[in-house]
Structure formats: C-alpha cells, structure tokens
Structure 1
Amino acid sequence: MVYQVLEWTCTVIAFAAFAYRLGTLPGNHRDPTHAALCVYFFGSFFSFVIGLDAVSPHVADLFHYRNVTIILSHAAVVVLTAAQLVVLTYWALPPERARHRARLLVAGFAVALAVLVTMFLVSFPMERQGTSATSSLLNLRNSGYALYVALYTVLIAAGQVVTVRVSWRFAGTATQPWLRRSMRTVAVGGVFILGYCGMRLFQVAATQLKYDVTAYNPVQWFLGDVGSLLELLGWTAPGWGPALAALPRWVRAYRRYHQLRPLWEALHRATPDIVLGGPRSRVADAVPGDLGFRLYRRVIEILDGQRALRPYLAPPVDANGPTAEAQWVREALKAKASGRPPVSAPAPAPGEYPEDLAGETDRLVAVARAFQREP
C-alpha cells in the first residue's frame, strides 16, 4: 500500500512539474538547464508511470513481453540522471566549460544506456509474479540479469554521488532562501537513493549466493521512492516555495478583508460614492483578485466613509478605542439617516491612527468587530 501511494505521488508530481516546465519552454528555449529539467521531469514521470501496477500489464501486452517495463523504466532513470547532472553542470561551471562537460556527460550516459539495453536483451528476464517490485527481485537469480542490475545500479549511484556533492555545495553559496532549501532537499533525496542503490547491490550479491533477501525488498523500494520524491520536490521548490511562504500572509489579509466588510457595507450604504468602480457582490467578493490592492481599497473606502460622516458626529466622548469609535460611527449613521442637519463643527473620530497600512488595517478590524456587536 505504501509503495503504491509513493509511486502514484511521484507520478503525479513529476507529471505536473513536466507540464509546467514544458509550457514555459518556448520562452526559455535558449536555456539548456530549462530543457534539461524538462527531460528530468519527463523521465521521472515515465519511470514511475510505466511501473504502476495499473499500467504495467497493458504496456506488457502491447509489446508482448511481460517484463518490458523493467528496461523502459530503467532507461528513463538513466536519462533523468544524465539530465539532472547536466543542470548541475551548467550551474557549477562557466558556460563554455559547462557546455563541453554536458556533451561528454550525455555521450557517456548514451553509451552506458546502449550497453545496458544490450545486456538486458541478452539476459532476457522472464519471471513475473505480483508487482513490478517483486518481479525485479525474482529475476536476480538470472546471473546475466543480475550483472545488468549491478551495472545499472552503479551507474545511478555514481550520478547520485555527484548530485549530492554538487547540490550541497551549491546550497552553501545560494543567496535565495528557497533555492538553498531546494538544493539541500535534492541532496538529501540523493542520499536516500544511494541507500536504495546500496540495498540493490546487496540484493544482487545475496541472491547470487542463494540467500533469501525478500524481506528487505520493501526497504529498498521505500528508500528509492522517498529519495525520488525528495529530489522532485527539491527541483520544483524554487517555483512553489515562495508562494507557500506567502500563504500565511495571504490568509491573514483575506481574513481581514472580510472582517472589514460589515463596517464597509454600512458606510457604503450611507455614502455610495466612496467605492471605486462600484460595489462588488458577495460572490465576487468571496475570492477577490489582487487581494493586496482590494484590502488597501477597503481600508481607504472606510476612512473616506468616516470622513463623509464627520459633519453628523456627536461631540467626542472621553472614551477611546475600537468600541468608542464603533459607537461614534453608529450614531453618525443614525444621524445622517434621520435627516438631521450637519453640526457646524464636526468632531474628529476618536481613536489613534497609525501611519502604516498594516496598523490602520488592524485598528479598523477591531472597530469592525465592535461595530457588529450591538451596544
């Protein structure tokens, strides 16, 4: 169950990241790291989706070979590992050196992939039982396939060693907080994948020595999936991280925006022209676009509404604070609604007026709460 949840989670995240990157590719087609990340996310998505138990049998039927998903998934992992290293290479080296190093990396991984495909076809593993995870372990009794898995695992481990080292080093020099966090997350994910590689090599050796290592199979798949998930989150964090960090501020502003509505509505009914562009319905007001501007306008409109009521105010009382100001607004609204003529010397609104918008918003929220309570 945990294995399937992790596999599906990684599949969905990888596809979402690939779709987002692909959509922004036309505007970044000259950036090799952008294209490499597209390849990385697609490789991640393909490697997971092809191994899902809901998908794997259909792919096997299409190719008339029940273990074809093994080589397809492994090939995708080799490609995504190369793409990941290309990104780190361009980040770590000057452009000319990075371009030369990236070409060597791609060529080297292409040769390695060709060798792996050849070894797989020669060994041609046939055993299939249960899930994709258990079937891979069963075929390790085939010495040719075991050698293939060992070479594949060493190749992936080598890529992860470089990923961990470069990502952690880059995190130490990154100036943007979320880029620093993302690179550390990638590095930690790489450590988990190295744990997976270690377990995989242990399984290869133990199976060839006739030891039963079935009990350890969930551990190595857990390490691999968690590591892959962490790397996916790390590579996407610079995009969603700042928005996540801003979410508490947005929620606080949203609450204040709606907490001000009762006071704003009362003032708007008394003086309709305080609203810029006409009033908004409750439905439209439920999810305001450009919340920062809307909150700012609501504060200004409330202050304008109070200013318009000043000729109708009763003389100020000694009391101060939100309750006194709410009572003052209530009495002024009643005076205007009754048709009472304005007083000759309008009184100022009681209360303290901070100079910053945040302080003014907090003050008016307190007034709005008091205004809702009947005296």
Structure 2
Amino acid sequence: MDQDIPEFKSQLRLESALYVQNGLQWVSAASLLLLAAITLNWRLNEIGPADWGFFMAVLPLAFICLLGAMFLGHGAVHPYSRWLLLVFLMLLVWCWLLFIAELLQVAPQSIAAMEAVADILVLLLMMGLFPDALMIAAGQVPLVCFICLSRYQSMPENLAFPLSKFICLLVIIAVGQQVLFSWFSRAIAGSVEKQKLLKQFRRLALVDGLTNLSNRRHLDELLKQEIRAAQRNGRPLCLLLLDIDYFKRLNDSLGHQAGDDCLVQVAALLSDAACRPRDLAARYGGEEFVLLLPETPLEGALAKAQSVAALLHQRNISHPDSPIADRVTASQGICQWQPGMDADALLQSCDRRLYRAKGQGRNCIIVSG
C-alpha cells in the first residue's frame, strides 16, 4: 500500500499541472471574448471616450489573452513550468486590473459593470485553476481586493458592503477550491486504480500463474510480431522448444508439489537465459517451455540450448525415477524461421525436432538444417 501512494501523488501532480495549464488557456480565450464584448459595448453605448489611454489598456490585455489562448495548449504532454504559468497569470491579472482601472477613471458610473466583470473573472479562474491553491490566490485575491477597494472609493460612507463582500468572496474561494480539488483527487485516484486493475488483468492474461513466464497466448502474439520483423529486416529468428524428460514419473515418485517446484526452477533458469530485451521465455504447456530468440542464427540458438543444458545440470534437481539420470534432464529442439513460414509452421517444425530428440534417448539437442 505504501508503494501506491507516490504513484497516486505523482499522477495527481501531473494531472493537476495539465489541468491548470489547459485551464489558463481556457481562461485566456474566455478573457479575450469578454474583452471584445466590453469594448464593443463601450463603443456602441458611448460610455466613455476611446482615447489613447483606453487603447493602451486594451491592447496589452488583448495581446496577453491571445498569447495564452494560442500557445498554452502546446505543452499538453509535458506541462510548462509552474512558475512560468504563474508569471503568465500575474501578467494576465495585472493587464485586467489596468484595463478596469482605466475604464473606472473615465467612467466612474460603470463601477457596477466592472464589479460584474471582476466576478466573472473570479469564477473563470476558480473553474480553470482550482487544482493549484497558489495559482488561485495569485489570480483571484488581487481582483477581489481591487474591486472592493474601488467600491469603497466610490462609496466611502458605506464600508460594510465592500468589506462583507471581500470576506464572503475569500471564504467562497477557499471552500470552493477545497471542494473542487477533493472531487478532482477522487477522480484521479479512481483512474489510477483502474489502470492498476487493467495492468493486473493483462498480466493475468499473458503470464503463467505458476512459473511467472509468458503463457501460450503471449508467445503467440510475440511470435507473430517477430516473424513480421524477420520478414522486414531479413535477420534470423530461432525457436527453442524444451521438454522436461520423464516429468510424469517425477510427479508420480515425488508428488505434484515437487513437480511444481521443478517447473518453477526450470522456468527461472530459462528466464535467466532469455537475457536480451527481445528474448522471450514462455511456458508452452505442461512441462514444455519455449525460448524465442530474435536476431539469432542457428549457431547462437545451439549455444543457448547447450548453456541451458549445462545450467540444468548444475541445478542438479533430483529425479529418482528417471531411467537416464538421477537428476532432471531436458530434451530440446531448435528450428530457424524460413521465408514463407507462419507461426504455426515454425512451432510444428520445432516440435518435430523435439520429438526426434526424445526419440533418440532424450537429454539431447536436435537442430534443424
């Protein structure tokens, strides 16, 4: 359970960073639309003059909004630095404050409209940045302070209204951020748990439960892939099929638990033998195992089979009822893929070599020509 916590936390950090980045892009786009609506309404209703100061307030804000709307989504896989996003947010909020201050300076009667604009911005920031409390505070607190101070300056005799609004907004922001982030965290936790279950189900579907080697299904999948690769690049592909000699007698004499222990030890030996990244050790069925050896010629596969036989001899697994040795031995068949062979043909060819090895007294290796 302790190992699951860092995984969840790292996923939560990544998802939070991506959400905040996408949220900033969305806030930038929404801000651009809001700015366009305010400017259009300002001109159509002739609320105030459109002088140089007005345009000097509009243009920087429009540029920042356009910049965020266009480029913030480019880091969708690897999010930008949190501090870079924080700087951008501060620039966006500062430009909004300059814009609102300019409008209030030329048209003080628009205080109610500017309060509505600030409230909309606070809502947008809450929806877009709630996973990051620092970003929330950096974006919303200046807006709330500024608009409450502006209300107080326009109505100094009524201090209770801006003060109560300021307190209420801060409480709503703090509580809302905690509630939304709690929902967000639970969603991420559920997603992480589903990913773990999917990985477990896939592992159960592709791994043999006793030996922890790949099972027949996984072997079939990878064998087809490696055949296609051999067709493309012309590199050799070999298959080694191994059968434990007189395994039924081992079960009968020592019991099924001893048989299972033998299978586990042989599987561990083959897993060590499959040392390259694309090599695959798999349980073919019962006491039969397979080594899939991509980009390996017959000489290399034969050397691998001899190494497996030597390691099995060193393990010295007891087999008191074997007619050929007092320890566990194995018969091996090796086949190299030839153009035109499919997976079934390659397996059948390798199986014929294994059958010949068993027919020649077992504990030997037969290689195709």
Name the TM-score, length of structure 2 as normaliser.
0.30
Between structure 1 and structure 2, the one with the greater Rg is: 2
Q: Which has the higher strand share?
A: 2
Indicate the structure whose relative CO is greater, using CA pairs within 8 Å and at least 6 residues apart.
2
Q: Which has the higher helix share?
A: 1
